[in-house]
Amino acid sequence: MNKDTSFIREYHEKTKHSEMSVMNSQHYLDWNNRPYPFKIYCNLPTIPLPTDFSIPSLNAILAISRLFPQDKQYNKSDNINSASVTATRKSKDFENIKKLTLKDLATILFFSGGITREIKHGNHTFYMRAASATGALYPIEIYIVCKDISPELKAGIYHFCPAEFSLINIRKGDYRSALSAAADNQHILNSPLTIIFTSLSWRNAWKYQDRSYRHWFWDSGVIAANLLAITSSMNITSRLSMGFVDDDVDRLLVLEKEKEASIVMATLEIESDPNFALESRDTKKEHISYSDLPPSLKTIPLSRKEIQFPLIWKTHENSKLFSKNEVTEWINSGISQIHNFLNLEKDIESHREKVLKRQSLPNEYQTSNIPSIGETILRRGSTRKFARSSIPFTTLSSIIYNSTRYIPMDFKKDTDTLIDIYLISNDVEGIDSGGYFYNRVNNTLDLIKDKTTRNLSGYLCLGQSLFSDASVVLFLMSNLNKIIKTLGNRGYRASQFEAGIITGKIYLSAYAYGIGASGSTFYDDAVTNFFSPHSENKNTMIAIGIGNSAYKARPGKILPVRLKREQLIR
């Protein structure tokens, strides 16, 4: 089914925004039926996570760009020579890699999806997370599959509950072999721990309806950006996997069918505490019968009434992989073909006559006075009002460059990408206002549309003045025709997810430089038309505005949020 791409083409066309579709929409938000922001299991054992961890201290720009000071050659002063950056850290023997403790895991989970702000509005309290989420609805849930990590955390499958800051034990025993088989991924078997992101569909569909399937991957992508940056700061290599047998992983996590689904896995190249005696091998679930697993576990309902969106589940079903052979074929086809079919250098050469002006990006990026990645995540929010003022070109250059480096996914080489970046510059020191294409080969901004006005960027983002006020609005685009030809319907997931990761990196980079950022939806065809003919045959995945905030927001903090189970259930 993954190869019948008519399904994904139908979904993408049906969920496009236009002036007419937005104007004629009859959808309204039933605030009395707003989904609960936490998944709460009933009657399952809970393991509290430690809260006395330190804030990760690596320079945020180094962490975001996945530079490892101990492995890379870089200038020890305030600047990094971008030419010295290589694709990935050299592999090391596991015994030379940092050992994992429960406190380390708590750090990773908190800075990826923990609660950093508590906001009271009227009679309601809202808990904001470390990574952004469309509509602040937080549809992404986090699970871990691990061997014995510490005396407190034994081998099993766990759900991360940010409200209790705890792990909920779903299964006991070592299921890494089963997970490894589902993903045809030996790294999962060698690693002590794999983190899995899932989406609770209704939580986001309540507001965004069928289009919310796109948001599954945007929202998981920004969390993945946090995770990659935090693990980099801890000297841990993380690898992301999108190729797996969907139904096997869903059943392993006991996800309720057509309510929640697995999206991506992150495997950590790290070992557990060497002083902890491991359990005997007989707890390892090498062969399991999925038919013997319970179909569901009791949880608190998200709303008093959930509305079904069949198009979402039809699209998801038709982008599934159903066997190990399918997984292997999907991964190998991407690795072998993506670089060739994107053929970036040839594509850029063919658009030479469409470039009005070329602006080289600096090869060095200032990293002095940059906060740590931990402090940056605590600062991060979603800007609600931009000041109409300029940002330095060097800041924009650094944000673009460092947000597009080396995203490690199973179906492509780390330096390959499915995403092209186009942008509208409203107010950047040293460059003209206009529409630009980021040329990754030459590391330049190519002016392709001049004499634009601020109102244009706001109009393309559904007429929102916030994005007219932004200094720059970036549009992350992908050639879906080429991508799904190689990766099938699942290539749509991959494109949206990589766009989400880059968006998450842009968020973090912007806040590291002391400016703001906010993600947006958009008028699909209008964006393509504006950047055409350069962007012909490309589709927008996501948009994000950056600029100086018009207000001073308070940074978040490591909150001692431990809501009791009785409070959550009530």
pLDDT band of residue 354 (cuts 50, 70, 90) is low
State the pTM of this model. 0.91
CA gyration radius, the chain: 23
pLDDT band of residue 292 (cuts 50, 70, 90) is low
- Pick from 125, 113, 109, 298: nearest CA to 222: 113
- Residue 70 clears pLDDT 60, i.e. is over it: no
pLDDT band of residue 68 (cuts 50, 70, 90) is very low
Three state DSSP letters for 155-205: CEEEEEECCCCEEEEEEECECHHHHHHHHCCHHHHHCCEEEEEEEEHHHHH
**pLDDT (tens digit per residue) in 182-232:** 999 888 998 999 999 999 999 999 999 999 999 999 999 999 999 999 999
Rounded to the nearest 5°, which phi and psi values hold at 456?
-65, -45
**pLDDT (tens digit per residue) in 479-521:** 999 999 999 999 999 999 999 999 999 999 999 999 999 999 9
- Residue 294 clears pLDDT 90, i.e. is over it: no
On the CB side of 416, CA atoms within 13 Å amount to 19
Give the span between the Cα atoms of 497 and 487, in whole angstroms.
Answer: 14
Give the span between the Cα atoms of 236 and 205, in whole angstroms.
Answer: 35
- Residue 31 clears pLDDT 80, i.e. is over it: yes
Compute the average pLDDT of residues 313-322.
97
Straight-line distance from the first to the last Cα atom of the chain, in angstroms, rounded to the nearest whole number: 43
pLDDT band of residue 43 (cuts 50, 70, 90) is confident
From residue 67, give the alpha-carbon distance in Å to each of 87, 395, 537.
Answer: 9, 18, 34
Cβ(504)–Cβ(518) below 8 Å: no
Give the span between the Cα atoms of 291 and 333, in whole angstroms.
Answer: 31
The label of the residue with tokens 């309204």 reads 28
Res 170: pLDDT = 94
**pLDDT (tens digit per residue) in 390-425:** 999 999 999 999 999 889 999 998 889 999 999 999
- Pick from 36, 92, 17, 405: nearest CA to 206: 36
* Mean confidence (pLDDT) of the chain: 87
Domains and CATH numbers, the chain: 342-547 (3.40.109.10)
From residue 109, give the alpha-carbon distance in Å to each of 115, 148, 162, 196, 548.
Answer: 10, 17, 9, 11, 29
